[in-house]
Amino acid sequence: MIRKSAVCIWTLAVFLASAAAQTPSITGIAHVAFRVSDLDREVAFLGQLGYEKSFALTNGPKTTEVFVKINDRQFLELYPQENPSQQLGWMHVCFESDALNSLDSLYASKGLQPSRVAKAAAGNLVFSLKDPEGRTTEFTQYMPGSRHTLDRGQHLGTNRVSEQLMGYELPVTDLAAARKFYVDLGFEAQDADNRVLLTAPGAPYLRIEVHTANAGNQAQTLFPVQDAHQAADDLHHRGLKVNRQGKLVFVRDPDGNNFVLMETGP
């Protein structure tokens, strides 16, 4: 005979499992954004990595954003430098979710002060909030009929050096504050010497590292490759200057942003 206490425990376990399954979460990186000194030159550089321009947004004759495709769900978003006061380089990350309104409400309940969900120019839902250092972090949900959705299956370069944007490495001034911020977003944190490794339960491939900033540190965007030696040779033959250090391959864009290819095997 099943005891009443056992039934209660089983019922509670089912309830908790159901609640966890319904909790909105991050499912991946939608894009990483850069401000660049020359849009055409940056698009040409990314073309050498095998990535193709998907589409652009314009304001009259002026191009305001360019979207370069990694895969059907991941992009590099490029903004032009409109005046010298705008800092070049890594701008923000945008995470994907399939329940954006619920995620927005969850973050509001945690005191993260997200903006309201709105429809962006490309046709997807989006909201944003600020990290502890004032950087924008975006969140999006791809919608039917958006520019991203309509481009699925297109602009997938056959010679992409990697078919996935795995994550990024970000220097921060307050490591404890950065750790709390990402945990509040739903990431799981593993502490190491002066750095925190972050993973997302809803996106097993995703890897983020935040570490204490030192002079000259910059953000690095991470891509997985099966063989670092082969990837380095491939990019060298495409005319790019590469620096291979064991299982890591470093290549810089025209503005000095670091793209890191990490050997992960098949």
For the stretch 78-125, pLDDT in tens is 999 999 999 999 999 999 999 999 999 999 999 999 999 999 999 999
pLDDT at 265: 76
Asked whether the predicted pLDDT for residue 8 surpasses 50, the reply is: no
Tens digits of per-residue pLDDT, 47-88? 999 999 999 999 999 999 999 999 999 999 999 999 999 999
Identify whether the C-beta of residue 228 lies closer than 8 Å to the C-beta of residue 263: yes
Residue partners of 43: CB distance under 8 A and separation at least 6: 53, 66, 68, 78
SS3 sequence of 111-137: CCCCCCCEECCCCCEEEEEECCCCCEE
Task: Please report the domains of the chain, with CATH numbers, ordered by start residue.
Answer: 28-150 (3.10.180.10), 167-263 (3.10.180.10)
Position 234 confidence tier, pLDDT thresholds 50, 70, 90: very high
Distances (CA, A) of 90 to 100, 103, 175: 24, 25, 19
**Model's pTM, two decimal places?**
0.89
Instruction: State which H helix or E strand residue 101 sits in.
Output: helix 100-109
pLDDT higher than 70, residue 18 = no
pLDDT for res 193: 86
Residue 130, pLDDT above cutoff 60: yes
SS3 147: helix
Confidence of residue 28 (pLDDT cuts 50, 70, 90): very high
Per-residue model confidence as pLDDT tens digits over 148-201: 999 999 999 999 999 999 999 999 999 999 999 999 999 999 998 889 999 999
Q: Is 100 exposed, middle or buried (0-12, 13-18, 19+ CB in 10 A)?
A: buried
